[in-house]
Amino acid sequence: MPILKIARMGHPVLLREAEPVDDPTHPEIRRLIADMAETMQDASGIGLAAPQVHVPLRLFVWRGTPGVSALINPELEPVGEEVESAWEGCLSIPGLRGCVSRPKRIRFRGLDAGGNPVEGEAEGMTARVMQHETDHLDGVMYPMRMRDLALFGFTEELARAAGSAGR
């Protein structure tokens, strides 16, 4: 399986709304999911949306328990009012991180890699990854969600600043 090229911030594919997947069982979709999973793992990522590999379709993969999972044509909605802020990175914005507020719990539905309907609730890191990847399907990148750009910077500098703050 090939490692796919990851689109970086500024590429138009990352700023448009992705199209629904018509046939999730089509061999090309199955191959895309497998290639995306391998690409994500190769890049040490925890999630990857199809637009990030130059394919404007509504699907993403993420590291779950166990292994890698896929969600096709996802629909997400917040559960409750609770929001939490956390640092996010993105394979399309290498070397940078930002603090983003998102709903703590979500309800999701869509199709799995076999084309079977799935639904459930997620919280914590899984909910954050699903929201981040669904944003990619809507042409939204995490810096667009940030309220305070003072909390956006290079990973190395943020780590250095955090280390010196603890001294």
Token reading at 29: 């979709």
Confirm whether 133 is a catalytic residue. Answer: yes
Task: Indicate which residue of 84, 133, 156, 157 is catalytic.
Answer: 133
- Which amino acid belongs to residue 71? L
Task: Please provide the DSSP assignment of 7-31 as one string.
Answer: P-TT-GGGGSPPBPPS-TTSHHHHH
DSSP-derived 3-state class of residue 103: strand
Report whether 80 contacts 123 (CB < 8 A): no
DSSP class of residue 67 equals S
The CA-based diameter of the chain, rounded to the nearest angstrom, is 55
- Alpha-carbon distance values, 121 to 8, 59, 99 (Å): 30, 18, 23
- Which amino acid belongs to residue 46? I
Catalytic residues, by residue number, are: 133
